[in-house]
Amino acid sequence: MLAEAIERLFEENPERYTEEHFRLFAQFRQALNEGRIRAAEPDPASPSGWRVNAWVKKGILLGFRMGAMVEMGGGPRQPFIDKATWPLKRLSVEMGVRLVPGGSSIRDGCYVGRGVTCMPPMYINAGAWVGDGTMVDSHALIGSCAQIGRNCHISAGAQIGGVLEPVGALPVIIEDEVLVGGNCGVYEGTVVKRRAVLGAGTILTRSTPVYDLVRGEVYTASDELPLVIPEEAVVVPGSRAIAHDHGRQWGLSLYTPVIVKYRDARTAERIRLEDLLR
């Protein structure tokens, strides 16, 4: 079984990797490319709705351990130099991915669904999953192992952080039909549930509470759970006053994301305009 073989090789850490080892890794990487295995997957039994597949993350790390540094593409003046085990992903017209000219890169060992549009320059790292019909806009990053749902829009300058280590940590999850606005940052295993909207400049991390003005709730991460943004929530950057000592004296405030409403007909109409770019 693939999982058992990857686990065993990861723990053995041999002094020299054989042709059989490289064939095993090639099989693993192809399974990532085809979406047959994922670094994280939906799990209704989990409080966050997702569970991490630690053995898949071990396999990705194994590739870095096994690979030798080689030149690959990029032209004679500035060749790419990276691990031989993680080349650029090979795309074809039949795959249905639209990769617009202009300096984008997609690393091998990630799943990119049909109808995905990649606007230059953008980057998708190894182990990521990008669902059908999603747009990854200019200067956007999809980090290693991040899971992006179907029909999302990852807007210009947005950063979807990667979580490769520790292997048991849940990566960033962006569920179906989420709009991530320009210059947003989603990090540290945050889960953004389906049809949520992140306004431009919103930053989500484990250490930043999110204030829900509609439901009167405050969402935070814990040792057991990541930060979870509810379905259809519309989140914008906000601030909260520092109510003690010099903070109050100096009139200071801290950044905090704020849920100002939940998706409605007007929100849906504005988002529908994004389809014209696909």
The per-residue pLDDT for 2 is 98
In 90-232, which ranges are E strands? 98-99, 105-106, 111-112, 117-118, 123-124, 129-130, 135-136, 141-142, 147-148, 153-154, 159-160, 173-174, 179-180, 185-186, 191-192, 197-198, 203-204, 210-212, 217-219, 228-229
Q: How far is Cα 195 from Cα 89, in angstroms, rounded to an integer?
A: 29
Identify the band that residue 244 occupies on the pLDDT scale cut at 50, 70 and 90: confident
Identify the band that residue 276 occupies on the pLDDT scale cut at 50, 70 and 90: low
- Judge whether residue 274 has pLDDT over 60: no
Report whether CATH 3.40.50.1980 matches the domain 2-68+89-277.
no
Q: How far is Cα 117 from Cα 112, in angstroms, rounded to an integer?
A: 10
- Judge whether residue 267 has pLDDT over 70: no
Q: How far is Cα 172 from Cα 163, in angstroms, rounded to an integer?
A: 7
Identify the band that residue 269 occupies on the pLDDT scale cut at 50, 70 and 90: low
- The pLDDT tens digits for 154-210 are 999 999 998 999 999 999 999 999 999 999 999 999 999 999 999 999 999 999 999
Q: How far is Cα 16 from Cα 103, in angstroms, rounded to an integer?
A: 36
pTM of the model: 0.93
Q: Which helix (H) or strand (E) holds 41?
A: strand 40-42
Q: Where are the domains of the chain?
A: 2-68+89-277
- Judge whether residue 278 has pLDDT over 60: no
- The pLDDT tens digits for 25-37 are 999 999 999 999 9
